[in-house]
Structure 1
């Protein structure tokens, strides 16, 4: 019989000291809200400026309009992660890789999710034997052509059905073109080995845990980007003179490039970006359409997620190609469905 000495017990389970209280973001938020309530009269007097009132109105309007679509999107994303195994999509894909790209792109219409959620879903698909071209097509299509994004775009641009159709066609074309380009030029060795490993499906009670955790994580991540985007949108409406946007409107090529780069930098959630684009009313529709097509396809947070999931070698090749394809598809869709440059 093996005996355990007191010294072994001490080493295996060292005594713990008193637990230290740590200040988290929740406590900081509570303190800030409390100070704002106590000093609201002083704040109202100190910041009673027309520019700040305008900025606050734009900020609140963007957040209030976008939040219902964001919440619905993360709930659907969590449900897909928990209750729709990746093998279901694999079964409906045709054996022809080129045809599978088309089916994967159209599948994005039914399977809603934000950009952050589409990356792990694409990894799961590849790990379960789906062709990388089809998985990457789904990665780009799901956050851009699902009903939540389409409805939010229609709400943000009332009376502009061409904008909704142009975004749908431009985004779907971007996803499918990238899938077909992967078939022609992509190499499996660009993807790190860990992304190719099979991931187990969840069962039973674990499904609800996965649903709750996925929805919560997506809401926290996407909500933060929504607030950041609303703040930047408010700042652009207040700080940047209208004449600057007018100049971009007069130089349409420069406006398209600026809005494409802005989409990458802002890293907005696809369920909310239409309201930010709609708030930039001084710009023509075409640059704003390119902003909406590029954003869900590639932005700063997506590049980081792709690099962490599939490897830097993959991201450094896939991201620039996606940017170029998205800009081209957005411009072509705008010229066709928006009646030219406007």
Structure 2
């Protein structure tokens, strides 16, 4: 893109680096935690933690991200392993959709991104709406047959056997061999997650920096004037940018012409459904279910955010 003045490039670089350095620490923290959870958390641990009653288990699954925080980039392979070990599909999907948002790392990053600008309202609204949407979706999914949701290849691998850790000749877990391997797996998983997430984040930061410095704000403001246009526009943007939930709040906070409702829709829909997730979901779920899930989440989040975002903000 040509710049008419050197100062335009300087403004772009300054905006790019500012947003990048704000969000990068949360990506590092999130990928490290997800890597160690991937390596050290037994596949059947969450299943044992859940109540026997299915509805209660779904409600609990929506809160598991607070205990086992995993970003959306790592959650799909984790869910695939948990389902293979016998975790109910409705609970697995509830956890899959909620964990990238309903977790302490995202709460801190969201609050930091909106500091001085209704930070508490935006943070609690994001977590609360995400929890309600995912629990409701999980309850609905519980009425579907597993065969209509999961791919046939995964269905054939479903087992309720315990974790298949390496065993010694006497049948005990080989701890001495397992620990070094797990540490290496954790570090490798963290590195892969960081590189993958970092690439999408940098692309998102660049687009946002261009938006802030090079695009006529009068044109952009037209999309933010009405929630009828602003909310779906922000949700589509979240879908395309494919940002990590630990850093997307720093992008949304820069969209000054959009309402709180539109920003919330961006922050909630993106971690549940974006370009990269569609391909990842395709490895676990049948295509028809992925389409149904995307459309259902889009409509539900748009409607709820439209109502919620126009409520009076406490303290104002």
User: TM-score band (shorter)?
Assistant: 0.7 to 0.9
2:124 aligned with 1:165, yes or no? yes
Rg larger in structure: 1
Cα shift at 1:208: 1.3
Q: Structure 2: which 5+ residue stretches go unaligned? A: 166-177
Residue pairs, 1:123-142, within 5 angstroms: 123-142=80-99
Matched residues in 1 for 2:231 and 2:260: separation? Answer: 10
Deviations 1:284-307 (A, max 9, x none): 222111100111011111111001
Listed one character per residue, the Cα deviations across residues 300-323 of structure 1 (whole Å, up to 9, x for unaligned) are 111110012334243222222222
Aligned to 2:236: 261
Q: How does 1:185-200 map to 2 (within 5 A)?
A: 185=144, 187-196=146-155, 197-198=157-158
In structure 2, C-alpha distance between the alignment counterparts of 1:336 and 1:79, rounded to whole Å: 40
- 1:73-113 Cα deviation digits (max 9, x unpaired): 00000111111112111011112211111000011122111
Structure 2: distance between partners of 1:327 and 1:201: 42
How much does 1:201 deviate?
Answer: 4.7
Q: Give aligned pairs, total.
A: 295
Residue 111 of structure 1 aligns to a residue whose secondary structure is: coil
**What's the CA shift string for 1:248-278, capped at 9, x where partnerless?**
2322210111001111111111111000111
Q: Does 1:64 align with 2:39?
A: no
Write 1 or 2 for the structure with the bigger share of helix. 1
Give yes or no for the alignment of 1:180 onto 2:139. yes
Look up the match of 1:14: none
Indicate yes or no: 2:49 matched with 1:92: yes
Contact 2:35 2:186 in 1 (8 A): yes
How many angstroms apart in 2 are the aligned matches of 1:310 and 1:204? 32
Cα deviation, residue 334, structure 1: 2.4
TM-aligned CA distance change 1:221 to 1:166, over 3 Å = same
* 2:173 alignment counterpart: none
Q: CA deviation at 1:337?
A: 6.7
Q: Report the Cα distance in structure 2 between the residues aligned to 1:337 and 1:209, rounded to whole angstroms.
A: 49
Q: Does structure 2 retain, via aligned residues, the 8 Å contact 1:293–1:330? A: no
Matched, 1:322 2:297: yes
**SS at structure 1 position matched to 2:99:** helix
Give the 3 Å change call, closer, same or farther, for CA 332–88 of structure 1 in structure 2: farther
Q: Is the 8 A contact 1:277 1:292 kept in 2?
A: yes
Determine whether 1:292 maps to 2:292: no
Aligned position for 1:216: 191
Contact 1:171 1:329 in 2 (8 A): no
Q: TM-score, normalised by structure 1?
A: 0.81
* Contact persistence 2:100–2:271 (CA under 8 A): yes
1:1-342 pair list within 5 angstroms: 49-159=6-116, 160=118, 161-185=120-144, 187-196=146-155, 197-198=157-158, 201=164, 203-336=178-311, 338=313
Classify 1:133/1:247 alpha carbon distance in 2 versus 1 (closer, same or farther; 3 Å). Answer: same
The answer to whether the Cα contact below 8 Å between 1:108 and 1:141 also exists between their aligned partners in 2 is yes
Whole-angstrom CA distance in 2 between matches of 1:85 and 1:331 = 40
| SS of equivalent to 1:265 | helix
Higher RCO (Cα < 8 Å, 6 or more apart): 2
